[in-house]
Structures are given as C-alpha cells and as structure tokens.
Chain A
C-alpha cells in the first residue's frame, strides 16, 4: 500500500474554521480545537470502533449522520456537532444503551464513576425513551481478581481493543450479534480457564461502566485508572 502523503486540510466545525492533518479523524480535530463531541466507545490511542454512535455529527450536503470517531476529514467540509436533531438522536441512542441491559446504577460498583451515567447527565437524559428489556446474562466471576458482568456491558469493545492492541494478547472478543452479543474469553471459556489472558487488568480499567471490575469492591467503590492505559500508549508512541 502506498502511504498517503500527510497534508493539512481546512474545514468548518460548528461554523469555526479548523485545520487538521489529512489522516486525522473528525473527532481528533474537534478535540484539538476544544470542540466537545460526546463519546462512549472511543478511547484515546485505541483504534476507533464507531460502536456506540454517541459521536454522530451532521455533514453539510448529506442526510446521513456520521460517527466523528471514524470519519476522515475533507477539505472544505462543514460539520455540525450539536443540532436539535443530533441531540434527539443521541438521547435515543443513550436510552437504547440503558434499556438494552440491566444497569441498576444505584447498586453498581461504578456508581458515581461511570461514563454512561455521565453521558446521561451531560445530555440531560432523565429517563429512558424506550422500554427496558432485562435480558439475562450470566456473570463470569471465575477469574481470581476480576469479574465480567455482561448485564452492565454496553459493547463498546474498548476491552477487546486494549487487549489486542496494547497488551497484544487478544484474549477477548465479541460473541453473537445484536442483543445476544457479549464479551468472551478465548473460545467462550470461563475467564479463569483462558489461556491467552495475561491477567493484566487493562480491560477492567478501560471499561466505561461497571461491567468489568475488580473483586472485593462494593457499590460505588470501583474507580477505573484510565490514565495508566493512556500513559502507556503515549509512552510507547514516543519511543
């Protein structure tokens, strides 16, 4: 593959003139210019997945909403990040994420330190716009240090990506599709029996909700150390 020559592109976000390197994503350029676009599955330094759709934005000339985290920038494009239409879509998306599983914030280990909760506050979502489903998933507490509760999983795949891209183990992946989807270890073994898991805990610390957590913590006690992973990625890049 011929490497694309990196150039600078100029375009508009919310009417503000911005510039970015031609290989940058829309979200990266917005972040560099202090324009806040809400995200959930995005984690700085990991390959963007476009899984949660929170970062949807409008691009002039297109009816489709596109996720800013995976969108490449184009010269002269005009991007809107916060119209009434986008706000209403984001609220619906967030409602569907809440309603798909059984989060029960009040008794969650991550209550008060949860990115999903924070999004609800930021977007002013005070109730789900769709009915709750309450599909049952078995909790995997087989690992000696960590627990996976699929009932609180938003399928952002941060854990899958950090295990693959940073730890290099790829012990995690997604099984099934849609509402049946869940994170698995190896070929859907109990976590403790996974031969590829190194027990590093990176998956736990990038998890935005209380789905992956340390054993022994009670409600509100699980504070994720995301900066460890961010620093690790940065340090490696600088080498």
Chain B
C-alpha cells in the first residue's frame, strides 16, 4: 500500500497539540508504516508541498500569512484535519477578539515594553494581524474536526488511524471542546 503523504502545521496555536501528537509515543512507529510526514515543524521542509493527502492544522487564523497558508493548504491537500480547539473554535487565540487588534498591539508594542525607538508597530517581516481571529472553517472547508486543548494523544491516534484506513469514527466519543 502506498503511504499517505501527511503534512502538519501550527498557525495561531501554542504547539500543545503538536506536543500531544508526539505523546502518541510508540504508536508513532505504527503510524509511520501508513504515512510519511512531508511537511511539518517536525521535519526540515521549507515549502508546503503540492500533493498532500492529509494536512493536520493546529491553531486559529490570526494574520494575513495564516490566511495565505490555509488557502494554499486547501489547494494542495485532499483532506484537512482541524486539530485542537484553536483550529476548531478559535479558543484562547480568539479571546483577543474581545479587546480588538489595536488594544493588543498597544499592549505589546507600547504598554509592556521598555524601548520602542521607532514609536510604531512593526510593519515588515512579521505578518499583519487580522481584525478578528477566526477558526479554520470560517476561511476554508474543513474535512475533520478534532477538538481538545490540547487534543489528547489517544484521540489523535484513533482519528488518524480511522482517517488513514478510510473508516468512519465518532469523534465526540474521544474528545470534546476544552478536553
């Protein structure tokens, strides 16, 4: 059987769900027989590949770069799995929406810093924050939703196995919002 080409990425998340992925421990060896990780913080691959079977996305969409990436991911992936509450609901990343981007920038670049010689927000290299943080499905179609904060390793394993084998699975039996 041909191995599935799997990518993983974290956008506006804390990397906790990627840590949880690693917490699958020895089960990663078993999964590696069915999948190759072709793009991920775990591997050294700079460009997002063009023919991915499944992309696992951690984190919400907060910047213009996140939007660019999720569109590219949608275009280049057969299936997308939203991993964790930030990707599924916005979660902690979206709490910023209660205060607004301007307030957050003011706090980060003026109120809490000792030096900001330019007296401006950064305009180059760092991506521009969106007005509102959104979960993945508010920008592109998502195939699988696996909530949790972070999603438990057992849930990731069961879902991945089912997805790779093309089997139906009841995700609510494995994890929930805030788990």
Q: Interface residues, chain A, CB within 8 Å of chain B?
A: 98, 102-108, 111-112, 114, 117, 120-128, 131-132, 134, 136, 151
Interface size class of B (residues with CB under 8 A): 20 to 34
For chain B, residues 64 to 113, give those with C-beta under 8 angstroms from any C-beta of chain A. 82, 85, 88-92, 94-95, 97-99
> Which residues of B have CB within 8 Å of A120?
172, 176-177
Q: Is B146 part of the binding interface, using a Cβ–Cβ cutoff of 8 Å?
A: yes
Q: Is B147 part of the binding interface, using a Cβ–Cβ cutoff of 8 Å?
A: yes
For B132, give the chain A residue with the smallest CB separation: A134
Q: List 23 A-B contacts (CB under 8 A).
A: A98-B89, A98-B177, A104-B95, A105-B177, A106-B92, A106-B178, A108-B178, A112-B178, A117-B176, A117-B178, A120-B177, A121-B172, A123-B172, A124-B172, A126-B147, A127-B135, A127-B145, A127-B147, A131-B134, A132-B90, A134-B97, A134-B98, A136-B99
Which listed residue (A111, A123, A126) contacts B178, Cβ 8 A? Answer: A111
> Which residues of B have CB within 8 Å of A106?
85, 91-92, 149, 177-178
> Which residues of A have CB within 8 Å of B51?
none
For A126, give the chain B residue with the smallest CB separation: B145
Q: Is B129 part of the binding interface, using a Cβ–Cβ cutoff of 8 Å?
A: no
Which listed residue (B82, B94, B99, B132) contacts A127, Cβ 8 A? Answer: B82
Q: Interface residues, chain B, CB within 8 Å of chain A?
A: 82, 85, 88-92, 94-95, 97-99, 132, 134-135, 137-138, 142, 145-147, 149, 170-172, 176-178
For B87, give the chain A residue with the smallest CB separation: A127
Known: A104-B92, A124-B170. 10 other contacts (CB 8 A): A104-B89, A105-B91, A105-B176, A105-B177, A124-B171, A126-B172, A127-B89, A128-B89, A131-B134, A132-B90
A103 to B170 alpha-carbon distance, docked (Å): 23
> Which residues of B have CB within 8 Å of A126?
88, 145-147, 171-172
Smallest Cβ distance from B9 to chain A, in angstroms?
18
Smallest Cβ distance from B57 to chain A, in angstroms?
13
> Which residues of B have CB within 8 Å of A103?
177
A122 to B176 alpha-carbon distance, docked (Å): 10
For B88, give the chain A residue with the smallest CB separation: A127
Smallest Cβ distance from A175 to chain B, in angstroms?
20
> Which residues of A have CB within 8 Å of B82?
127
